[in-house]
Amino acid sequence: MDSDFWKQRWQQNQIGFHEGRENNLLSRCIYHLALKPGDRIFVPLCGKAADLDWLVAQGYHVTGIELHQAAVEEVFQRMGLVPQVTRLNGLTRFEAGPIMLFAGDFFELHSNLLGHVDAIYDRAALVALPREMRKAYAEHLMTLTNNAPQLLICFDYDQSQMDGPPFSVSEAEIRELYGNRYKQERAAMVEISGPLSQRCSGNEIAWLLSAD
Ligand SMILES: C[S@@+](CC[C@H](N)C(=O)[O-])C[C@H]1O[C@@H](n2cnc3c(N)ncnc32)[C@H](O)[C@@H]1O
């Protein structure tokens, strides 16, 4: 699952992961993060998710990063915002009002560029990556954000039912990845629905990770 894989998915419009509206578990579970208006939430591997608009509408400042620059541009167009664009080493930053999105590789983002964040919202980011990349992703995310609390949405299904992405990430694996810095609570669980339910059966789970 390298950058070429994702660029091809976007170019061929194979973006079944894109939900046309905010994620149901996001709106149900965000209160667990106890954010105040003006707090900053980081959305890694954000795509062009409608979650970004929804988070801005709740009064939060939103920072995201996404490989596919056209997806980033589309978010600003859809929100009717004209971003200031800054080219940085390997990344391009788009900023307007409460939203700042980086186009480029998550692993190239450094904490001095990201700045302080109050929380992380991970939907279809950890589960987008194969097992061998998930440890590096989790480590980098914790370093970047100084272990900010997370709302993490994962799929849990029998991996023999289909190849990922999205991959199944179990409770035990989340503990292995994050357990040395976070305590982990299950905030909500629903059955997998929508197009993914044609390919596998299992659960979509919202985890709350808070610094230990
Ligand atoms: C499954 S999609 C989820 C997108 C979004 N979170 C959503 O809920 O619609 C995963 C996204 O991660 C992006 N991506 C994958 N690897 C990345 C990386 N190393 N850096 C930045 N974005 C990446 C892909 O381009 C894709 O848009």
CB of residue 123 inside a 6 A radius of ligand 1: yes
d(CA 23, CA 123): 8
Domains, the chain, in order of start with CATH, read 3-13+26-211 (3.40.50.150)
Is residue 179 helix, strand or coil?
coil
> Which pLDDT band holds residue 152 (cuts at 50, 70, 90)?
very high
> Which pLDDT band holds residue 1 (cuts at 50, 70, 90)?
low
Give the single-character DSSP code of 168. Answer: B
Contact call for residues 188 and 205 (beta carbons, < 8 A) = yes
- Ligand 1 midpoint to CA 1 (Å): 10
- Ligand 1 midpoint to CA 47 (Å): 5
Testing ligand 1's pocket by substitution, the residue of 18, 45, 91 carrying the most ligand atoms inside 8 A of its CB is: 45
Residue-wise pLDDT for 109-138, tens only, equals: 999 999 999 999 999 999 999 999 999 999
Tell the residue nearest (CA) to atom 4 of ligand 1. 47
- For position 139, what pLDDT does the model report? 98
Tell the residue nearest (CA) to atom 13 of ligand 1. 45
d(CA 184, CA 32): 12
pTM as predicted: 0.97
> Which pLDDT band holds residue 212 (cuts at 50, 70, 90)?
confident
> Which pLDDT band holds residue 184 (cuts at 50, 70, 90)?
very high
- Ligand 1 midpoint to CA 138 (Å): 14
Q: pLDDT exceeding 90 applies to what percent of the chain?
A: 94
- b/e code 43-58 from CB counts within 10 Å (16+ = b): bbbbbbbbbbbbbbeb
- Ligand 1 midpoint to CA 40 (Å): 20
d(CA 96, CA 107): 23
Q: Minimal CA–CA distance to 18: which of 46, 54, 58, 56?
A: 46
